């Protein structure tokens, strides 16, 4: 069975601060995929990033960066120079690849990020 | 780029009524997923279809059924509605055919907000 834990329920920062959202996952599979989705107040789920378990290279994309650490089963997400429009619920999600396993996503409970002006 | 389309966006029903939610996947995507997100909760997987056949089943109540049609659109049918069915229902689509090692990304629609009175 797989599990995703987002220990931070709510985070508030002031605009232009950097903020890191934590995600810890559990799976027995050796091949799996991790995702971050953003859910703004309007409700839609927006795909942000996917990382493969066999690729530990971390990335930076504009103001977003990701830190994937297999040794600690963590997949943290950082927003640099946060903006008010970044205010949303951020979900970390896991998908595994074992034979017969389903393709559905297992989500964490989400972190509500509020960026204050 | 075309996204996942869901209709209706909002729906109000009374207890014991029925509801039908529709999903139109991204063009050329072959897989559709349905998720239910209760207030303040993370999305929970209900059911998925690949090439018009049911592929996986999650925590979908027996009162609900779904199918995928020849044009790849999908419908979620909900009968004997209960107050607890009030939630945001997401449809997601992905392209599984030709996707190596199960690594396809699910793209979500804007959701249908169902309120059962």
Q: Which residues of B touch A50 (CB under 8 A)?
A: 103, 105
| Cβ–Cβ below 8 Å for B43 and A104 | no
Chain A residue with minimum CA distance to B41: A109
Q: How far apart are CA A52 and CA A31, in angstroms?
A: 8
Distance of CA A84 to the CA centre of its chain: 19
Question: Which residue out of A104, A107, A109 would a mutagenesis test of the B interface target, given it has the greatest number of B Cβ atoms within 10 Å?
Answer: A104
List, for residues A59-103, the tens digit of each pLDDT value: 777 899 999 998 999 999 999 999 999 999 999 999 986 655 557
Taking a C-beta distance cutoff of 8 angstroms, is the pair A73, A3 a contact?
Answer: no
Q: Cite the DSSP H helix spans in B1-117.
A: none
Q: Which two tokens stand for residue B51?
A: 């090439």
Q: How far apart are CA A52 and CA B86, in angstroms?
A: 34
Which of B42, B44, B102 minimises the CB distance to A108?
A: B42
**R_g of chain A computed on alpha carbons:** 14
Distance of CA B109 to the CA centre of its chain: 9
Q: Is B103 near chain A, with CB under 8 Å? A: yes
Question: Which residue out of A105, A106, A108, A112 would a mutagenesis test of the B interface target, given it has the greatest number of B Cβ atoms within 10 Å?
Answer: A105
Q: Which residue matches tokens 């799976």?
A: A27
List, for residues B5-54, the tens digit of each pLDDT value: 999 999 999 999 999 999 999 999 989 999 999 999 999 999 999 888 99
- How long is chain A? 117
List, for residues B76-99, the tens digit of each pLDDT value: 999 999 999 999 999 999 988 777
């Amino acid at each position: 069975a797989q599990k995703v834990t987002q220990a931070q329920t709510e985070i508030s920062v002031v605009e232009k601060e950097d903020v890191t959202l934590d995600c810890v996952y559990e799976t027995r599979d050796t091949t799996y995929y991790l995702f971050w989705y953003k859910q703004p107040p309007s409700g839609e789920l927006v795909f942000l990033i996917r990382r493969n378990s066999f690729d530990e290279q971390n990335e930076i994309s504009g103001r977003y960066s990701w830190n994937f650490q297999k040794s600690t089963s963590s997949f943290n997400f950082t927003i640099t120079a946060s903006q008010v429009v970044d205010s949303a619920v951020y979900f970390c999600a896991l998908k595994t690849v074992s034979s017969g396993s389903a393709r559905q996503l297992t989500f964490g409970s989400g972190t509500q990020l509020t960026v204050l002006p | 780029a075309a996204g996942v389309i869901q209709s209706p966006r909002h729906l109000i029903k009374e207890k014991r009524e029925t509801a039908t939610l529709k999903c139109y996947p991204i063009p050329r995507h072959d897989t559709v997923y349905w998720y239910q997100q209760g207030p303040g909760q993370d999305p929970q997987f209900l059911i998925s279809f690949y090439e018009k056949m049911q592929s996986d089943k999650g925590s979908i109540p027996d009162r609900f059924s779904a199918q995928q049609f020849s044009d790849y659109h999908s419908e979620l049918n909900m009968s004997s509605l209960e107050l607890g069915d009030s939630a945001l229902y997401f449809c997601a689509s992905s392209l599984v055919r030709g996707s190596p090692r199960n690594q396809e990304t699910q793209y979500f629609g804007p959701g249908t907000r169902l309120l059962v009175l």
